[in-house]
Structure formats: structure tokens, C-alpha cells
Amino acid sequence: MNLGVEQAKAWIDQMNELFQQQKQYLTELDQAIGDGDHGWNMARGFQEAVDKISSNRYEDLGTLLKDVAMTLIAKVGGASGPLYGTAFLKMSQVLAGKQEGNEQEWIAALGEALAGLKARGKAQVGEKTMIDVWEPVVMFLQEKGQLLAREAAQLAQQKMEETKTLEAKKGRAAYLGKRSIGHIDPGSASSCLLFIAFAKVVES
Amino acid sequence: MNHVSLVLVSHSEEIAEGLKKLLEQVAPNVGIAAAGGNNGEIGTNALRIQEAIESVYSEKGTVVLFDLGSALLNAELALEMAGGKERVRIADAPLVEGAYIAAVEAGLGKPLEEVVQACEAVKQMVKIEK
């Protein structure tokens, strides 16, 4: 199965819909252990990204994903702008010049996004961040060698839930120390929505 | 430019602009750019930081100072996007005191590495003698 420009656009659309629906929930998660703007930031950033890409025609995935990245970098405050911006920028580099990507190419793009996120945020698994969702999901896809998007989304959900038990070591939540335990990490929740949106597009 | 230049990154536009004014008093000959806030709100913005770096970039070098958390992520991203700017360093220093020392050192014509060292040493500075 190949995913091309139209599917990538649908992915961004789908993510935007989920972020609009869940912005209150994401913001509540962030109010508990962060600065309380994650939902609004993601909703605003992805609305801007959709506005930008819906009016353009794209010849290749790289240009499309780069436009998404630059919009997030320009519009989203806090750490989520540079982090999600970096993820989409890395994907755009892997998929540059391609009208569509096969399963391996998309898995490679997600792998580069993960590498970029880890480098940018200097985070590892177990520190109660988006990496706690991204790394197991990407490793699962790499092991299977197929774009098993529904299973990946289920795994993302499970890993997001598991961030509840972790103590935050990065970002604003790290100031809370042990008091961060018992709360889902907001970045892992928005990352989970990204993989749910991906599964919806792959399955349709 | 004959001096190392400075870029001030803060979540607050007013902090960055106010600090720039403070530094211009001690080092009027040093190029200083403020990159505070995110589109008029609290936050930081990699594109704004990139523009600031490009506006004062000097062959002698440029030091970027930042305040909190995501300011560093955006400063690093800005540096990558600016591309080919070999002589830019992000200093691990408190923003106000670090920038003050950096401005003094840069004003004296010190080379990039010395300016960075001087402002990073500020972390050990005692402000009230016990």
C-alpha cells in the first residue's frame, strides 16, 4: 500500500479534527502538570497548517510536510512548536521528491521523526514525554516492516496510559517531581492522537 | 562588525527588549538583537530567533542567550534553520547576568569563545556575600 499527497493531506486534516475536539482535554492534562496551553496550541497550530495546505497543490510529500512543519514552528508556542515542527521537518526530508511513499518509506520517515524528536528534546523513554509513545510505536512498525497502523494506534494509546505511572524528568512537569505521577503526559496524549489520525487514514 | 554580537531570547517580548536597552547602555558598540515572545504572546519562536541571529550575525561570532525551557529548543532549531552560521554559540547562562557580562566582554573586543566562557562563568557568581 502506498500513501501519497492526498492521504498525507487527509492525515493532517484528521489530526486537526481530533485536536479541535480534544483541545479542552489536552489543556486539562497540561494544567495538571504543565503550563496549561497544550490543547489550545495544538488546535491553533494544526488549524493554521490545514489552512496553509488546503489552498495549495502539492507535487510531492516533502513540500507538503515541510509546509506543515514551518507552520507549526511559526505558530505554536511552548515546546510543542519546535518538537512537532522538527518531527514533520524530518519526515519531509525522507519523503522529499516523492508523490507517494510505500510502507517502508513511511516507516523510515516516522523513524527519522523520532530521531529528530529525541535530539531536539534530549529525552529518552521513561521520562514522561511524547517519546514514551513515539519510540515503542516506531519500533513496533520497524519490527513488523509493515504499516500496521491500527495496531500502532492501539499501542500508542496503551503507552500514553502508561505515562501516568512515570515521574516527569523533562519540561515544566519535571519541576513537580513525584507529584507528576498519576497524570497522563499531555505530549504523549497529542502524539497518540497523531497515530490515531494516521490509522484512520490508512484504513480508509 | 568588529565585535561579537548578542541575541536575547525570552518568553517575554518586554524582557528581551528591556534587557537590550540595559545592555546598550554598557556596550553601545555591540550588535544586540531581541527575540522575545511568540507572535505577541508569551512564548518563543524559532523563526523570530533565526531573523534575530541573521540581523546581527558577525564574522567575529554571535552568542545566543535564553531564559527558560522551550527557548532552548527554539534557539537550537533556529540555529539549524539559519544554516552555515558556524560562529554562533548558545550560552548556558542566566539570561540577565549572563547577557550583561557578555555585552561587557564583547564590547572590549574579546573573541567568541572568551565571551561564551565569561557569561557561562556567571553561574558561579555570588550576588550576596555571606
pLDDT for the residue B25: 96
Read off the pLDDT of residues A108-141 as tens digits, 9 standing for 90 and up.
999 999 999 999 999 999 999 999 999 999 999 9
Which stretches of chain A are DSSP H helices? Answer: 5-33, 38-54, 61-75, 80-94, 103-121, 131-144, 149-162, 186-203
B77–A77 CB contact, under 8 Å: no
Which residue out of B3, B8, B11, B88 is catalytically annotated?
A: B11
List CB contacts of B109: < 8 A, sequence separation 6 or more: B2, B3
B73–A83 CB contact, under 8 Å: yes
Average pLDDT, chain A: 96
User: B5-124: what CATH class?
Assistant: alpha beta
Average pLDDT over residues B63-68: 96
- Interface probe for A, chosen from B10, B42, B66, B77 (most Cβ of A below 10 Å), is B77
Read off the pLDDT of residues A11-33 as tens digits, 9 standing for 90 and up.
999 999 999 999 999 999 999 99
Give the residue extent of every domain in chain B: 5-124
Domains (ranges, CATH) in chain A?
3-203 (1.25.40.340)
Average pLDDT over residues A160-189: 94
Inter-chain contacts counted by CB atoms under 8 A, chains A and B: 45
Cell of B124: 558561579
Q: Is A105 exposed, middle or buried (0-12, 13-18, 19+ CB in 10 A)?
A: middle
pLDDT for the residue B129: 87
pLDDT class of A175 with cuts at 50, 70, 90: confident
Q: B 18-77 residues with CB below 8 A of A?
A: 38-39, 41-47, 69-70, 73-74, 76-77
Residues in chain A closer than 8 A to B77 (CB atoms): 73, 82, 85-86, 120
| φ and ψ of A101, to 5 deg | -120, 145
Beta bridge partners of B9: B35, B66
Q: Which helix (H) or strand (E) holds B50?
A: helix B46-56
pLDDT class of A36 with cuts at 50, 70, 90: confident
List CB contacts of A13: < 8 A, sequence separation 6 or more: A50, A54
pLDDT for the residue B1: 62
A79–B47 CB contact, under 8 Å: no
pLDDT for the residue B70: 87
List CB contacts of A26: < 8 A, sequence separation 6 or more: A19, A38, A39, A42, A186, A189, A190
Distance CA B6, CA B57 (A): 8
Pair A30, A66: CB distance under 8 Å: no
Read off the pLDDT of residues B99-109 as tens digits, 9 standing for 90 and up.
999 999 999 99
Catalytic (active site) residue B11: yes
Q: Which helix (H) or strand (E) holds B89?
A: strand B88-90
Q: Is B74 exposed, middle or buried (0-12, 13-18, 19+ CB in 10 A)?
A: buried
Read off the pLDDT of residues A47-86 as tens digits, 9 standing for 90 and up.
999 999 998 999 999 999 999 999 999 998 789 999 999 9
CA angle at B95 for the pair A130 and A82, rounded to the nearest 5°: 25
| φ and ψ of A3, to 5 deg | -115, 125
* Among candidate residues A146, A148, A181, the one with its CA nearest the CA of residue A167: A181
